[in-house]
Amino acid sequence: MALSVVIAGCSGKSENPLLGEFNTPHGTPPFNEIKLEHYVPAFKEGIAQARAEIDSIIKNPEEPTFENTIEALERSGELLGRTASIFYALNSSNTSDEMEAIAEEVQPMLTEYSNDVSLDPVLFQRVKKVYDYYHGRKWDESPLSPEQWMLLDKTYRGFARSGAALSDADKEKYRKITQELGLLTLKFGQNVLAESNAFSYVIPPADSAKVEYMPDFVKTAMAEDAAAHGVEGWRVTLDFPSYAPFMKYSRERDIKEKLWRANSSLGYHEGQWDNREVTNRIATLRLELANLLGYETFADYVLEEKMAGSRSTVNNFLTELLTPTKEPAMEEYRQIVEYAKTQPDAPDEFMPWDFSYYDEKYKTEKYALNQELVKPYLKLENVEAASFMLANKLFGITFKHAPDIQVYHPDVKAYEVFDADGSFLAVLYVDYFPRASKRGGAWMTNFREMYTKADGTEVRPLVTLNYNFTKPTADMPSLLTFDEFSTALHEFGHGLHGMLAKGTYASLTGTNVYHDFVELPSQLLENWATEEEFLNLWAVHFQTGEKIPAELVEKIVRAKNYMAAYSNVRQLSFGFNDMAWHSITEPVDGDPAAFERKAMAGTQILPLVDGSCMSTSFRHIFAGGYAAGYYGYKWSEVLEADAFSLFKEKGIFDPETGAAYRKLLEAGGSVPPMQLYVEFRGHEPEPKALIDKILGHE
């Protein structure tokens, strides 16, 4: 039933490779053979097959059982799931105008199919009959395993939360709302990507003085980008590897203001990429959907299936983190402002586009640490090898480059992943560099989830990690900033969650867990970025081979909590904004900027700037899966702060602790997350662990 369900291959021969068996290593997608014209027919055939499978469940004359109803639903739609997994992963990492058009064409089909399944009254009655039967028995008297119980509960709740119990008239309303939401969320993301790609600023050769003082890696990347686009000089864009270094190292306030204003107002302009009405409409439709299903707000609807459980819990949690850290955050900000006043190029009025520049200068002066000192020791290839080494030390797994496995872009590399006993675990695709066809940020996804076939055969996952790191140049390899190094570990943590998955049902394996739990594995792994014992094993200068100096490691460790309170409050502001958009009880039709300013008022630190608005480009909540769930980043930080303390106590490479943690990763969503955590850590986490970490009280 779930679109995340995918398979190694399907029977049948066809000129369309998506419809036939993948005769490739480990059933990996044959990217060299898949063409754009193959997707729509594959979606249509996948939907047709899925409908036939669902129809056979509905018309089954036998009494509904777990096997012929719940498990049959889980295993339905394999071709559709495989097609969707491949298409949507590529639509994020290697899209085109044609792919965007395909997405718009198939979205209504997928929504219609999903609604037809979830709103079918006969199917729901079969599911409900199984659910009522087992829930009328004691847990210890049930023949179901804990994993089967989780699937039963998830399936029943999925129907109930998708309108199955609604009247016919309300079911029709549900269909219309979800159809419109599907298209609007797609449009939201397309608008942000298009407007971001459309912006660039070129510094002509005559103005070379505006770049000559900047680090070589910044100048070289800008020059190569300009040449690639057929212009002379130096080109800067809103892609993070271009935008962030320029804001950090450039003294040109007028250019930085243009960049900041463009980046901070994506989707907030009249014209073809205007997201203002789209944003309001998405929020309003979500409210209507929640009301239709009997919830006061969309947040109430979402949080029913989160660890937090309720709006009050989330708002209290965010406030609990904000109260002790707001004043320290303000003090950190004031330090930067006061420092800027002492500089020869001090601005008359400190503005947001000044922050990165003076922040970097202050950090360099205070800790004698800047990105240029660290980057030579963070060559991308070495970081990759170090990540693999860390996984080997913790879990015994190994990675082997697999050039015979087809990839979807020349920048992408594929690795086979093996367990300590030599058995195959997964294929890992890594996609490191930005391009116009790739959305910004960093993320992990799957071409195939892990699951077990009915005959007991395991189907192992195909995991992909996506980044936007600076590309190597003719004279320079890709050298990561420390923040990028942390990001590399973060996404690799997600990847491990997927690669180590065990279980029967795809909808319960890997990262298919509550959103306020899914960030634990990623954020936990970031802790190794500042561990001297880890860095000393691999971090060497890319030119000299010199081991990273002990004093530099010490500076990294001392600087790890630099601006921690400020960063914490910034993240909390996004969480408060998200909760506000999804706690509305009346439709919204005003200015999104005014709405978000009210929502984020208690966390405001930087000066407000007219014309800026982050909500209209907040893809996490308006075009992703984090609506009413962005707080989960901080929730997971509480978990990881407490969890890492066990590694610190036992040893950061302790195999016993690694083995216990691996069990948590393997379980995915087959066990309630708090139960998993307590089994690993021995107690429930408390926010104090994170607050102490932020304030340096560890």
Q: State the amino acid at position 125 in one-letter form.
A: Q
Q: CA-CA distance, 412 to 91, in Å (whole number)? A: 15
d(CA 368, CA 340): 17
Q: How far apart, in whole angstroms, are the C-alpha atoms of residue 363 and residue 348?
A: 22
Residue 608's contacts (CB-CB under 8 Å, 6 or more residues apart) are: 597
The mean predicted confidence, pLDDT, of the chain is: 94
Angle in degrees, 0-180, between the axes of helices 592-599 and 564-581, rounded to the nearest 10: 120
CA separation, residue 151 to residues 1, 130, 641, 666 (Å): 12, 12, 30, 16
Residue appearing with tokens 């800047």: 370
The fraction of the chain above a pLDDT of 90, given in percent, is 87
* Per-residue model confidence as pLDDT tens digits over 185-196: 999 999 999 999
Residues in the chain, overall count: 698
Which residues lie across from 236 on neighbouring strands? Answer: 201
pTM greater than 0.75 (yes/no): yes
Q: Tell me the average pLDDT across 477-501.
A: 96
Buried b (16+ CB within 10 A) or exposed e, 348-364: eebebbbbbbbbbbbbe
Phi, psi of 235 (to 5 degrees): -115, 130
What pLDDT score was predicted for residue 12?
Answer: 40
Q: How many CB atoms lie within 10 A of CB 453?
A: 12
Tens digit of each residue's pLDDT (9 = 90 or more) over 49-92: 999 999 999 999 999 999 999 999 999 999 999 999 999 999 99
* 341 contacts: CB under 8 Å, gap ≥ 6: none
Residue 636 amino acid letter = S
**Residue 232: is its pLDDT beyond 90?**
yes
pLDDT at 458 over 50: yes
For residue 77, what is the DSSP state? -
pLDDT of residue 3: 39
pLDDT digits (tens, 9 = 90+) for 585-636: 999 999 999 999 999 999 999 999 999 999 999 999 999 889 999 999 999 8
Would you call 301 helix, strand, or coil by DSSP?
A: helix
pLDDT per residue as tens digits for the range 503-534: 999 999 999 999 889 999 999 999 999 899 99
Question: How far apart (Å, rounded) are the C-alpha atoms in residues 681 and 646?
Answer: 7
- Asked whether 308 and 635 are in contact (CB, 8 A), the reply is yes
Q: List strand residue ranges (DSSP E) for 25-123, in order.
A: none
Rounded to an integer, what distance in angstroms lies between the CA atom of residue 241 and that of residue 26?
Answer: 34
Farthest-apart Cα atoms in the chain, separation: 83
Nearest to 72 by CA among 175, 161, 185, 152: 152
Distance CA 57, CA 123 (A): 8
Which residue in this structure is represented by tokens 């399907």?
10
Q: What is the pLDDT of residue 533?
A: 94
Contact call for residues 52 and 27 (beta carbons, < 8 A): no
pLDDT for the residue numbered 52: 98
Give which of 605, 573, 574, 609 is closest to 332, Cα–Cα: 605
Give the pLDDT score at 27.
97
Q: Do residues 621 and 627 touch, judged by C-beta distance below 8 A?
A: yes
Locate the domains of the chain by residue range.
Answer: 17-118+120-165, 375-512+519-558
* Residue the block writes with tokens 């016919």: 168
Let me know if 610 is exposed, middle or buried by CB neighbors in 10 A (0-12, 13-18, 19+).
Answer: exposed
Number of other residues whose CB lies within 10 A of the CB of residue 209: 9
Reference 364, options 482, 218, 485; nearest CA is 482
Give Cβ neighbours of residue 35 (< 8 Å, ≥ 6 apart): none
Judge if 17-118+120-165 and 375-512+519-558 fold alike in CATH terms.
yes
Q: What are phi and psi of 200, to 5 degrees?
A: -155, 160
- Residue type at position 341: K
What tokens appear for 408 in the block? 């979807």
Contact 39, 105 (CB under 8 A): no
Q: Tell me the catalytic residues.
A: 491
**pLDDT single digits (tens) 287-341:** 999 999 999 999 999 999 999 999 999 999 999 999 999 999 999 999 999 999 9
Considering the domain 375-512+519-558, what is its CATH architecture? Orthogonal Bundle (1.10)
H or E element that contains 246: helix 240-249
514 Cα distance to chain centroid:
13
Beta bridge partners of 430: 413, 465
- What pLDDT is attached to residue 6? 30
Rg (alpha carbons) of the chain, rounded to whole number: 25
CATH of domain 17-118+120-165: 1.10.1370.40
More confident residue, 135 or 237: 237
* 514 Cβ contact list (under 8 Å, min separation 6): 305, 306, 307, 632, 669, 673
Distance CA 162, CA 129 (A): 17
- Tokens standing for 171? 């079911």
Could you read off the pLDDT of 137-167 as tens digits, one per residue?
A: 765 667 899 999 999 999 999 999 999 999 9
Whether 22 shows a pLDDT value over 50: the answer reads yes
Q: Give the tens place of pLDDT for each residue, 343-388.
A: 999 999 999 999 999 999 999 888 877 778 899 999 999 999 999 9
674 phi and psi, to 5 degrees? -65, -35
Q: How far apart are CA 540 and CA 552, in angstroms?
A: 12
Cα distance between residue 146 and residue 452, in whole Å: 16
Are the C-beta atoms of 229 and 200 separated by less than 8 Å? yes
Tell me the one-letter amino acid at 172: E
Q: What letters, b where the CB count within 10 A reaches 16 and e where it falls short, cover 654-674?
A: beebbebbbebbbbbbbbbbe
Query: What is the predicted pLDDT for the residue at 13?
Result: 44
Residue 602, pLDDT score: 97
DSSP string, 543-610: TT-PBPPHHHHHHHHHHTTTTHHHHHHHHHHHHHHHHHHTS-SS---S-HHHHHHHHTGGG--SPP-T
181-228: per-residue pLDDT in tens? 999 999 999 999 999 999 999 999 999 999 999 999 899 999 999 999
- DSSP codes joined into one string, 647-681: HHHH-TT-HHHHHHHHHHHHHTTSS-HHHHHHHHH
pLDDT in tens, 381-427: 999 999 999 999 999 999 999 999 999 999 999 999 999 999 999 99
- Residue 392, class by beta-carbon neighbours within 10 Å (0-12 exposed, 13-18 middle, 19+ buried)? middle
Q: Which residues pair with 415 in a beta bridge?
A: 401, 428
Choose from 454-463, 468-477, 548-557 the range with maximum mean pLDDT. 454-463
Q: What is the pLDDT of residues 421-448, one digit of tens each?
A: 999 999 999 999 999 999 888 999 999 9
Query: Could you tell me if 496 and 657 are in contact, meaning their C-beta atoms sit under 8 angstroms apart?
Result: no
Q: Is 80 helix (H, G, I), strand (E, B) or coil?
A: helix
